[in-house]
Amino acid sequence: MSTNTASFKTKIVLQLLVWVPLFATVYAIFTLWGRMITLTDLTLLLVGYVLCAMGITIGYHRMLTHKGFEAPDWIRAIFLILGSMALQGPALNWAATHIQHHANSDEDDDPHSPLKSFFHAHVGWILDDFRPDLQRYAGPLLKDKLVVFISNTFFLWFALSLLIPFLIAGWVGQGGHFNLSAAGYGLLWGGAVRLFLNHHVTWAVNSVCHTYGGREFVTTDASRNNLLIGLLAMGEGWHNNHHAFPRSANHGMHWWQIDPSAYVIGTLEKLGLIKSVVRIAPERLAVRRIRADVEEERDVLPGLHLPTVHLPGVVMEHGTAMAAAASTMAEVVSKASVHQSPL
Ligand SMILES: [Zn+2]
Ligand SMILES: [Zn+2]
């Protein structure tokens, strides 16, 4: 009975976490008829959104989950705390869920595939109280004291993410007195609306970017590159690129694929603050694009027969093998293994 009660309480909390920011955002828009948003509120919203989004994209995703670069503890702590402030679960849970996604993309064990339903991929899987298997998918991270500490203190960072805009809006421009009403609006715009945007833009990577957009690289999942989500999600919308090359610190693979997270990573690298940034060599990108071209050709000409070539540990079509011959066999096999491994 206690388990059922706990589960019921958890589901209520999850419902509140999902719907309160949504209704608060609707309320915030409604208030615009009587009170223009102040510069302080707008700044809190935009700065808070960008910082927390980068906590997710750079901290939780590219650094922690995929090990796209190495950073000293103080930088890791900053990014993981910012990620915690986006209220998408503790870093350990986020990483384990995401590794499970890469290991089973658009298959039965994918936590949030749109093949089940678009709503499920977007938010339904959260409302269903999905619990990741930490030991199985994030075992090594359980030995990382910093990651465990920030995960265990998750709600402290979340509370701070609400308290900070509340206090700033209450003091700034209020003539030396704390204005409770202004503080409330700061909490509304810099807290609830900011959370709503952080949530739905990240969730759109799971739903929209596995449903709508183009595919440049062949992968075994339905991942897509989506310009709108690419812009809003600090570069995470180039999701087909990401599934093709999970460890790459850059998700944009062309100059026009805007990837703000990659720009920040590049700047930190130039400043000597982070190292071992993973980037994909142009020849590896070229080989994967040729594979994509062959797949497209087969789709356009369904009668086209491409003989299958069997190589140790990898199966590919004749045209692909010809192209891959320009590279080395080790490259082909390593590509196949990279595709299997989320890390
Ligand atoms: Zn994905
Ligand atoms: Zn990923």
Alpha carbons 265 and 58: distance in angstroms, whole number: 8
Task: Tell me how far apart the terminal alpha carbons of the chain are, to the nearest angstrom.
Answer: 39
174 CA distance to ligand 2 middle (Å):
44
State the ligand closest to the CA atom of 239. Answer: 1
Residues in a beta bridge with 308: 317
State the ligand closest to the CA atom of 209. Answer: 1
pLDDT at res. 146: 98
Closest CA to 17 of 88, 83, 114: 88
54 CA distance to ligand 2 middle (Å):
14
**pTM here?**
0.83
pLDDT at res. 298: 58
**Domain assignments of the chain as residue spans, ordered by start:** 2-270, 282-340
Alpha carbons 56 and 208: distance in angstroms, whole number: 18
251 CA distance to ligand 2 middle (Å):
10
State the ligand closest to the CA atom of 208. Answer: 1
217 CA distance to ligand 1 middle (Å):
13
pLDDT at res. 299: 57
State the ligand closest to the CA atom of 101. Answer: 1
pLDDT at res. 120: 94
Residues of the chain with pLDDT under 50: 1-2, 302-343
State the ligand closest to the CA atom of 251. Answer: 2
Percentage of the chain beyond pLDDT 90 is 70
Closest CA to 59 of 249, 342, 258, 253: 249
pLDDT at res. 136: 93
Give per-residue pLDDT as tens, 74-112.
999 999 999 999 999 999 999 999 999 999 999 989 999
State the ligand closest to the CA atom of 98. Answer: 2
pLDDT at res. 287: 84
Give per-residue pLDDT as tens, 104-132.
999 989 999 998 999 999 999 999 888 89
Going through the chain in order, the beta strands assigned E by DSSP cover: 308-311, 314-317
Helix ranges restricted to H, 32-153: 39-54, 73-84, 91-103, 118-119, 125-127, 134-138, 145-152
310 CA distance to ligand 1 middle (Å):
28
Alpha carbons 210 and 107: distance in angstroms, whole number: 12
State the ligand closest to the CA atom of 221. Answer: 1
pLDDT at res. 4: 58
Dihedral angle, C-alpha 306, 308, 311, 312, nearest 10 °:
140
Per-residue CA distances from 54 to 58, 86, 105 (Å) = 5, 9, 23
265 CA distance to ligand 1 middle (Å):
21
273 CA distance to ligand 1 middle (Å):
29
80 CA distance to ligand 1 middle (Å):
21
